Structure 1
Amino acid sequence: MSMTTPTDDAAIDAIVTTLRGAKRVLVTGHVNPDGDAIGSSRALALALRSLGIAADTSWGGDPAIADSSPKELSPTWVRFGGQETVVTYPKAEDYDVVVTCDTASFKRNGTLMPLLEAVPTVVVIDHHNTNDFYGDLHYIDPDQSSACGVVVRVIDALGVDLTPEMAELLLLGLTTDTGRFSYGRSPIYDHQFAARLIEAGANPDVINQVVFMSNPAAFLELTGLMLSRATLNDGIVISWVSQEDVQRIGIALDESEKILDHLRAIDEVCVAIVTREDAPGLWRTSFRGRIGMNVARIAQYFGGGGHTLAAGCTVRAKDYEDAIAQIYAAIEAVGISND
Structure 2
Amino acid sequence: MKLSDLTQYKNITIQCHDNPDPDAIASGFALYRYFKSHRCNVRLIYSGRTKITKVNLTMMIEMFRIPIEYCVSNFGTCDLLITTDCQYRSGNVRFFPAPKVAVIDHHQFCGIDVDYSYIQPNVGSCCTLVWQLFRNEGIDINKDPICATALYYGLYCDTNQFSEIYHPLDRDMRDALAFDQAALVRLSNSNLSLSELSIAAQAMNDFTFDSELRLAIVQVQPCDPNILGLISDFLIQVDRVDICIAFNETYTGYKLSIRSCIKETKASELAEYITDEIGFGGGHKNKAGGFIGKDEYSAKYKDLRMMQFLRMKLTKYSGECEILRAGVDKISTEGLHRYKKKRVPVGVVFCKDFVTANTPILVRTLEGDIEINANADTCIMIGVSGSIVPTTMTKFKENYDMASAKSKVSSEYRPTLKNLRSGETFDLVDHIRSCINKGTEYVYMKPITTSVKIFTVWDANNYVRGTEGDYIAIRENDLSDFYIVEKELFTQTYEPADK
Q: Which TM bucket (shorter chain)?
A: 0.5 to 0.7
Alignment gaps of 5+ in structure 1: 1-10, 62-66, 242-252, 316-324
Pairwise CA distance, 1:79: 1.4
Pairwise CA distance, 1:228: 1.9
1:192 maps to which residue?
172
Alignment of 1:207-226 (within 5 A): 207-211=184-188, 214-216=191-193, 222-226=199-203
Paired residues of 1:28 and 1:101 also in contact (CA < 8 A): yes
2:124 is matched with which residue: 145, 153, 174? Answer: 145
> Hey, what's the Cα distance between the residues in 2 that align with 1:20 and 1:82?
23
Paired residues of 2:157 and 2:225 also in contact (CA < 8 A): no
The reply on whether 1:23 has 2:4 as its aligned counterpart is no
> Hey, what's the Cα distance between the residues in 2 that align with 1:295 and 1:104?
24
2:342 maps to which residue?
none
Q: Which amino acid aligns with 1:263?
A: S
Percent identical across equivalent pairs? 19
> Hey, what's the Cα distance between the residues in 2 that align with 1:48 and 1:190?
24
Pairwise CA distance, 1:166: 1.0
2:152 maps to which residue?
171
> Hey, what's the Cα distance between the residues in 2 that align with 1:137 and 1:54?
19
The reply on whether 1:83 has 2:66 as its aligned counterpart is yes
> Hey, what's the Cα distance between the residues in 2 that align with 1:98 and 1:328?
39
Change (3 A) 1:153 1:274: closer
**RMSD of aligned alpha carbons:** 4.0
The reply on whether 1:268 has 2:247 as its aligned counterpart is no
**Structure having greater relative contact order (Cα 8 Å, sep ≥ 6):** 1
TM-score, normalised to structure 1, is 0.67
Deviates more, 1:133-142 or 1:22-31: 133-142
> Hey, what's the Cα distance between the residues in 1 that align with 2:159 and 2:291?
12
1:248 maps to which residue?
none
Paired residues of 1:30 and 1:101 also in contact (CA < 8 A): yes
Deviates more, 1:131-140 or 1:282-291: 282-291
- Corresponding residue pairs, total: 284
Pairwise CA distance, 1:256: 8.8
Pairwise CA distance, 1:108: 3.9
> Hey, what's the Cα distance between the residues in 2 that align with 1:76 and 1:286?
21
Rg larger for = 2
Change (3 A) 1:132 1:218: closer
> Hey, what's the Cα distance between the residues in 2 that align with 1:168 and 1:186?
20
Q: Which amino acid aligns with 2:183?
A: V
The reply on whether 1:32 has 2:32 as its aligned counterpart is no
Pairwise CA distance, 1:269: 2.6
1:321 maps to which residue?
none
Structure with bigger helix share is 1
Q: Which amino acid aligns with 1:107?
A: S
Change (3 A) 1:167 1:219: same
Pairwise CA distance, 1:165: 1.6
Change (3 A) 1:204 1:230: farther
Pairwise CA distance, 1:138: 1.2
Q: Which amino acid aligns with 1:89?
A: V
Change (3 A) 1:196 1:155: same
> Hey, what's the Cα distance between the residues in 2 that align with 1:157 and 1:90?
35
Deviations 1:291-325 (A, max 9, x none): 12348977997xxx67552337789xxxxxxxxx8
Pairwise CA distance, 1:88: 2.3
TM-score, normalised to structure 2, is 0.48
> Hey, what's the Cα distance between the residues in 2 that align with 1:95 and 1:296?
43
Pairwise CA distance, 1:206: 2.8
Paired residues of 1:298 and 1:334 also in contact (CA < 8 A): no
2:43 maps to which residue?
56
Pairwise CA distance, 1:123: 0.6
Pairwise CA distance, 1:156: 4.3
> Hey, what's the Cα distance between the residues in 2 that align with 1:330 and 1:149?
31
Q: Which amino acid aligns with 1:177?
A: D
> Hey, what's the Cα distance between the residues in 2 that align with 1:143 and 1:174?
13
Deviations 1:93-149 (A, max 9, x none): 4211111122257424432x2x1xx21111111233545353211122345332112
2:217 maps to which residue?
237
